[in-house]
Amino acid sequence: MDNKISIKAAHKTFGEGERSIVALQKVDLDIARNEFVTFVGASGCGKSTLLRCIGGLETLSSGSIDVDGMPISGPGVDRAMVFQHYSLYPWLTVMDNIKFTRQLQAGREDLTSADVEAASGRADALLDLMGLTHVRDAYPNQLSGGMQQRVAIARALLPRPQILLMDEPFGALDAQTREVMHDLILHVSKLEKTTIVFVTHDVEEAIYLGQRVVVMAPRPGRIDSICPVELPAKRDQDMKLSPEFMQQKKAILHRIRETAGMRTDYELLERMTRQAEQQNDMQ
Amino acid sequence: MSSRHNIFSRWNGLWVIRGHLSSRTYLMFALVGMLLPLAAWWGVSVSGWMDKVFMPGPVDVLSRTYVWFKEDDLMHDVWISTYRVIAGFSLSAVLAIPLGLMIGTYRPVQAMLEPLTDFIRYMPAVAFIPLVMLWVGIDESSKIAIIFIGTFFQMVLMVAEDVRRVPITQIEAAQTMGASRREIISLVIVPSAKPALLDTLRVTMGWAWTYLVVAELVAANSGLGYSILRAQRFMQTDKIFAGIILIGLIGLAIDQLFRWLHRKNFPWMYKK
């Protein structure tokens, strides 16, 4: 099996004693090399926690996460992470943000000047790929949200990570910018051969991007179902309107609603409407 | 009719909540704010409504400042007071910044030092003066010590808070990029907190001047605070006024210097 990431019986509890919360319960999942897996689920389902565990920012209470067959211990340069926002360094220009990892490695003696030069060329290439060349000397707060996320992705890609972990990276963007970013990230995944684990609350986004959509359920956080996406590998925006897409979106939304334990109480709404009407009549 | 309407709507436009002012209008309002109290002061002094001994006018204060400069070595008083403030303040900053950085970064350090600092901070610095005089004596170091006590504990807590305000995602991003703990502190936490730190220094500098006056009122034979106290003994209210205004002006100048440093060092905060 050519598994890049292998999650075995992952269990995570926050807090102690009676007030503890089970964020992840017995999560098993294998993610293949160069696969694009998306996670959706109601809030509190543990999708972000799982991503942070893979990134090494949280440790599992029990179970294990292997990358290339080796159990992970803490964060590592092989697993880059893109956050929803506030992760760029506002005091650095776009270019210096992207080269931030190089600044870290510059302190290590085992780096030759050829390595540094190669990294510099790569920074320029990424700038180009992300359409950021014209803002290379700008500061992050001069950029739109979409541009800022491009910088964050370029920065994450600089050291050629084999895995890219994305935690609702487009959650704060408007719908049009988001579409552009979707096609960009699909392009990146093909070009860089990166394994991408992508957490979102947007089902449409999850289907459009993912080869598999993992639906998680809350209380306790667990995997509810795994849905392979039956769309042509080469995606385009019109597919979102195809019957297959709609069908899958409907099925996943149903699963999320069912597991969320939250649903619109139509009976209550109707009763309230009736009451209001009665009061209006009396007046 | 229409021009009256125009003036009215422009006047109304000034009072938009959190609205904008052109820099010319801003300057106009600032000047009114400065000149109005000055005019009122001058009016009271020439009206003869209050005895000149208690309420000298702006002109008296100016001429007294000139005499002080000419005959009483004003510049020495200014210099010695500024020296004390800067010495006490710098000593406090040099210790408070690394300590606050550690408190804001490492939880065990926070648990060990923050409650203690919070406790000491509520002890009035002024009450330490007798103790300081017994321990340190009445030379320069005692004034510096009082300024230090007055500013240090506040500063530590404010620095710790500045450090804690560094967004956690900035730190986590560095962790996922393979930064070591030391690299995270020097390449993320410090540069990220720097603008807030400079503001903290600016605010505490103001307090340092307050404690200078306290220190000089109690134990000194030179300086602006001391001169104010002595002027009271000789009923030289104009000199008291002069001393207070001078301290205000020096404070304002230092404040502006800090603001200038802020713009100079953190250009990214001012670009939009």
State whether A77 and B178 contact (CB < 8 Å): yes
Distance from CA of A154 to the nearest CA of B (A): 12
| B203-228: b (≥16 Cβ within 10 Å) or e | ebbebbbbbbbbbbbbbbebbbbbbb
Share the mean pLDDT of chain B.
Answer: 91
User: Which residues does A57 contact at the CB level (< 8 Å), separation at least 6?
Assistant: A75, A81, B172, B175, B176
Interface test with chain B among A79, A85, A89, A96, by most B beta carbons within 10 Å: A89
d(CA B251, CA B88): 15
Please name the member of B175, B183, B268 whose beta carbon is closest to the beta carbon of A90. Answer: B268
Q: How many percent of chain A have pLDDT more than 70?
A: 95
pLDDT band at A199 (very low <50, low <70, confident <90, very high): very high
Residues A51-73: what's their mean pLDDT? 93
What would the pLDDT profile of B63-94 be if each residue is shown by its tens digit? Answer: 999 999 999 899 999 999 999 999 999 999 99
CB-closest option in A87, A88, A142 to B272: A142
CATH classification at residue A238: 3.40.50.300
Chain A residues near residue B170 by CB distance under 8 angstroms: 86-89
Nearest chain A CA: its distance from B185 CA (Å): 12
Cβ <8 Å between A80 and B176 = yes
Residue A43 is predicted with a pLDDT of 86
- Strand A21-32 relative to strand A70-71, pairing: unpaired
For domain B58-269, give the CATH number.
1.10.3720.10
The pLDDT, as a whole number, for residue B19 is 87
Average pLDDT of the segment spanning B152-172: 96
For residue A200, being part of any structural domain is answered with yes
Give me the interface pTM, i.e. the ipTM: 0.87
Residue A108 predicted with pLDDT over 70: no
Q: How many domains does chain A have?
A: 1
- Please tell me the distance in Å from B163's CA to the nearest CA on chain A: 15
Are A100 and B174 an interchain contact pair (Cβ–Cβ within 8 Å)?
A: yes
Q: Is the pLDDT of residue A1 over 60?
A: no
d(CA B122, CA B76): 34
How close is the nearest chain B Cα to the Cα of A52, in Å?
Answer: 10
Q: How far is B144 from chain A (nearest CA, A)?
A: 35
Distances in Å between the Cα of A98 and the Cα atoms of A138, A189, B173 are 12, 18, 12
Question: Within a domain: residue A113?
Answer: no
Please check the confidence at residue B96 and state whether its pLDDT lies above 80.
Answer: yes
Q: Quote the domain boundaries for residue A41.
A: 3-78+161-282
pLDDT of residue B133: 86
Q: Nearest 5°: phi and psi at A216? A: -110, 155
Q: Kindly list the residues from chain A whose CB atom is less than 8 angstroms away from the CB atom of residue B181.
A: none
A198 is a domain residue: yes
Q: Does residue A131 belong to any structural domain of this protein?
A: no
Return the pLDDT at B27. 94
Domain residues of chain B, as ranges?
58-269
- Is pLDDT of B2 > 70? no
Tell if the CB–CB gap between A57 and B176 is shorter than 8 Å: yes
Residue A52 forms part of a structural domain = yes
Closest in B169, B183, B269 to A87, CB measured: B169
pLDDT at B121 over 60: yes
Segment A44-70 shows an average pLDDT of: 93
Judge whether B224 and B78 are in contact, CB under 8 Å: yes
Above 70 in pLDDT, residue A110? no
How does pLDDT run across B201-240, given as a tens digit for each residue? Answer: 999 999 999 999 888 887 788 899 999 999 999 999 999 9
* Stretch 104-123 of chain A: residues touching chain B, C-beta under 8 Å: 104, 107
B188 contacts on A by Cβ (under 8 Å): 89
Band (pLDDT 50/70/90 cuts) for residue A107 is low
